[in-house]
């Protein structure tokens, strides 16, 4: 049976119990744990909070940098009254891959560290008593995994992650884990898409279940009043005088799906949905038919101590900072984020470009830097022996992301790759099935894009023709022609933009990255690179260029906040391109953006 990616809820027919808390944890550097019976209990565990990355909680470097197999263990109680139902474990994610055991029996495995999966444990749990849950994780990187990298072995035998990407390889159970009790006949999925008809809206829906009984759907407004209902697994709901979901003015309806057997409710699931349309038309983005200029950030799930662990305090602060600064959009660079972040974006009225963890498809020692200068170690990435495996992993992650996120009003576009090596021969054969798959899976037919690296130019990029809008990552004035050469950078930048205008075929162009590393306390008059003054000069130059091309329809600066990376000569304890510090306090540039973004009308360049 297809595993459901629906968010866990409590309802008349469903129970969801959090398993978050302090678990047991142990490294397994020789990968002998399974054979040694560790599913019967870890021999020498330490305590470990869930959700969190494990890395930054340790005080010794070997533990922080640990790469290989590692185990989490807890136990959970299954109430006797749940007998006769399906018992399911749901992991928000397990980075980067996991095998799950209950009472010693393997119940699930999953590849990929940024999307949910579940395990049906009905046949292995014991009722009215505690059950042991053991999870064997692994955080190694390979050229065929998402994200991509290598696993090096030091002379002392220790493995270390060598990412082909510029963020720390955080790992662990980084998102909530839940125990679910579901009816045997259950709702597996539902899909909505919207049409506006004057003052009214039509919502096309489908429902997928694992049984044969009838379904009903009901829609309630924000005050709990019923506004539409229908029967059947597919149909159209007519919502008179619909209140639309909009930027910074989200209106959410409650969508309730039921499986019914005569008068009996077999299963009930509900979720909040926003009614809105989004499309690319005549060089513009149209939200509910009106032009919208995108402004905001590339982000990371990244914070002190927690690493990539879901932390609602940080999530809340991030949205407050984004509202304060006048942003309306962010990209989930470089992986799908926790469910809870999309729910908040739905509620706060933020637009999301949802990105699959296809990052690092550009092989080189210092990937992001070498790649931006066009001198990466190898040129082609899609002509390798491992490419078919990479493509399979990529299709799986894309399918899971779209299945999970397709009903969110906040999600307006799919980002199918970040900065791949896209100038070599294998590019088209690799890209096409992925772009086709995204179109096929998404009932809303959201636009598809991918972030194009600096040295893939209008003349050399062999992937750009697949994108419904063009997303550029550009660092004129930072990685190229920085500091005293910034005037040359501006000229070169304009030249490239003229080139994109030739090949864009009416499509809008946005910047999914531009930015300059800046140390929060550093000031210098006149400016030098890394000073706050230079970050502002750099931004002035970039914005001058953006403002002079009407086809530029969005600007997502890199990055919302400073974030952790692998250590090295290019990074000072992490990437410092944040507009906010890692503690979410403003750098000078934050005021620069606040002045600009709060002044730009929503339909700037309409």
Check binding of 372 to ligand CKU (CB under 6 A): yes
* Active-site position among 363, 513, 537, 555: 513
Pick from 419, 442, 468, 555: which binds ligand CKU (CB under 6 A)?
419
Pick from 175, 575, 584, 589: which binds ligand CKU (CB under 6 A)?
575
Residue 422: CA count within 13 A, CB half-sphere: 30
Pick from 278, 368, 431, 466: which binds ligand CKU (CB under 6 A)?
368
Task: Report the site for ligand CKU in 313-332 (rule: CB under 6 A).
Answer: none
DSSP state of 249: B
Residue linked to tokens 């002045």: 595
Check binding of 371 to ligand CKU (CB under 6 A): yes
419 classed as catalytic: yes
Give Cα separations from 418 to 333, 414, 514, 605 (angstroms): 8, 11, 14, 27
CB of 383 to ligand CKU, least distance (A): 21
Pick from 164, 278, 558, 580: which binds ligand CKU (CB under 6 A)?
558
Give the nearest residue (CB) to ligand CKU.
Answer: 372
Number of Cβ within 10 Å of residue 79's Cβ equals 12
CB of 207 to ligand CKU, least distance (A): 38
With CB under 6 A as the rule, give the number of residues binding ligand CKU: 13
CB of 375 to ligand CKU, least distance (A): 12
Task: Report the site for ligand CKU in 446-505 (rule: CB under 6 A).
Answer: 453-454, 473
Residue 281 burial (CB < 10 Å; 0-12/13-18/19+)? exposed
The H or E element spanning position 53 is: none
Torsion of CA 378, 382, 388, 391, to 10 degrees: 120
Identify which of residues 72 and 164 has a Cβ nearer to ligand CKU in the complex.
164
Identify which of residues 45 and 483 has a Cβ nearer to ligand CKU in the complex.
483
Could you tell me which residues are beta bridge partners of residue 418?
359, 451
| Strand arrangement, sheet containing 46-50 | 46-50, 21-28, 69-78, 129-138, 97-102, 105-111
Q: Which stretch binds ligand CKU (CB under 6 A): 60-68, 137-145, 246-254, 365-373?
A: 365-373
Identify which of residues 15 and 334 has a Cβ nearer to ligand CKU in the complex.
334
Q: What is the distance between the alpha carbons of residues 225 and 233, in angstroms, rounded to a whole number? A: 23
Q: What is the distance between the alpha carbons of residues 491 and 308, in angstroms, rounded to a whole number? A: 39
Identify which of residues 252 and 529 has a Cβ nearer to ligand CKU in the complex.
529
CB of 538 to ligand CKU, least distance (A): 13
* Active-site position among 73, 301, 419, 555: 419
Check binding of 513 to ligand CKU (CB under 6 A): yes
Task: Report the site for ligand CKU in 71-130 (rule: CB under 6 A).
Answer: none
425 classed as catalytic: no
506 contacts: CB under 8 Å, gap ≥ 6: 282, 283
209 contacts: CB under 8 Å, gap ≥ 6: 185, 186, 187, 188, 215, 233, 259, 267
Residues with a known catalytic role: 419, 513
Applying CB under 6 A, which residues contact ligand CKU?
165-166, 368, 371-372, 419, 453-454, 473, 513, 558, 575, 577
């Amino acid at each position: 049976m297809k595993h459901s990616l629906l968010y866990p809820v409590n309802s008349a027919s469903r129970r969801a119990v959090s398993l978050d808390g302090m678990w047991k944890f142990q490294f397994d550097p020789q990968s002998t744990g399974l054979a040694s019976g560790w599913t019967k209990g870890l021999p020498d565990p330490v305590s470990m909070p869930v959700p969190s990355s494990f890395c930054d909680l340790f005080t010794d470097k070997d533990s922080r940098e640990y790469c290989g197999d590692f185990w989490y263990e807890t136990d959970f109680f299954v109430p006797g009254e749940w007998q006769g139902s399906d018992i399911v474990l749901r992991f928000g994610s397990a980075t980067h891959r996991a095998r799950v055991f209950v009472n010693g029996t393997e119940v699930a495995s999953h590849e990929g560290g940024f999307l949910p999966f579940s395990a049906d444990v009905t046949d292995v749990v014991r009722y009215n008593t505690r059950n042991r849950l053991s999870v064997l994780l692994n955080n190694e990187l390979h050229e065929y995994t998402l994200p991509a990298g290598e696993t090096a072995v030091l002379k002392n035998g220790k493995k270390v992650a060598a990412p082909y990407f510029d963020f720390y390889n955080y790992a662990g159970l980084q998102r909530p884990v839940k125990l679910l009790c579901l009816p045997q006949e259950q709702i597996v999925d539902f899909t909505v898409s919207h049409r506006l008809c004057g003052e009214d809206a039509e919502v096309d829906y489908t429902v997928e279940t694992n049984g044969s009984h009838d379904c009903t759907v009901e829609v309630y407004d924000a005050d709990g009043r019923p506004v539409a209902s229908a029967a059947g697994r597919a149909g159209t709901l007519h919502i008179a005088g619909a209140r639309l979901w909009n930027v910074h003015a989200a209106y959410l309806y409650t969508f309730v799906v039921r499986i019914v057997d005569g008068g009996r409710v077999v299963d009930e699931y509900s979720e909040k949905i926003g009614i809105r349309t989004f499309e690319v038309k005549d060089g513009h983005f149209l939200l509910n038919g009106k032009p919208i200029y995108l402004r905001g950030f590339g982000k990371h799930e990244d914070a002190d101590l927690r690493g990539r662990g879901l932390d609602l305090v940080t999530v809340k602060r991030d949205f407050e900072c984004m509202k304060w600064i006048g942003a309306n959009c962010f990209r989930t660079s470089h992986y799908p984020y926790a469910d809870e972040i999309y729910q908040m974006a739905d509620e706060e009225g933020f637009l999301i470009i949802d990105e699959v963890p296809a990052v690092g498809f550009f092989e080189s020692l210092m990937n992001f830097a070498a790649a931006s200068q066009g001198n990466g170690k190898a040129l082609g990435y899609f002509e390798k022996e491992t490419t078919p495996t990479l493509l399979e992993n990529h299709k799986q992650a894309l399918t899971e992301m779209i299945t999970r996120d397709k009903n969110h009003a906040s999600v307006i576009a799919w980002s199918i790759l970040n900065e791949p090596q896209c100038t070599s021969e294998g590019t088209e054969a690799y890209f096409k099935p992925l772009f086709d798959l995204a179109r096929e899976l998404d009932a809303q037919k959201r636009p598809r894009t991918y972030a194009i690296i600096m040295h893939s130019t209008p003349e050399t990029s062999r992937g750009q023709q697949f994108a419904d809008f063009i997303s550029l990552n550009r660092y004129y004035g930072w990685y190229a022609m920085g500091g005293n050469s910034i005037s040359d950078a501006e000229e070169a930048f304009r030249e490239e933009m003229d080139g994109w205008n030739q090949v864009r075929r009416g499509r809008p162009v946005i910047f999914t990255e531009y930015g300059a590393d800046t140390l929060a306390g550093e000031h210098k008059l006149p400016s030098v690179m890394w000073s706050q003054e230079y970050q502002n000069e750099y931004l002035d130059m970039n914005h001058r260029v953006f403002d002079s091309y009407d086809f530029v329809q969005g600007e997502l600066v890199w990055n919302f906040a400073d974030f952790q990376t692998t250590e090295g000569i290019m990074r000072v304890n992490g990437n410092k391109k944040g507009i906010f510090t890692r503690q979410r306090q403003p750098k000078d540039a934050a005021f620069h953006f606040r002045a600009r973004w709060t002044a730009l009308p929503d339909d700037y360049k309409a």
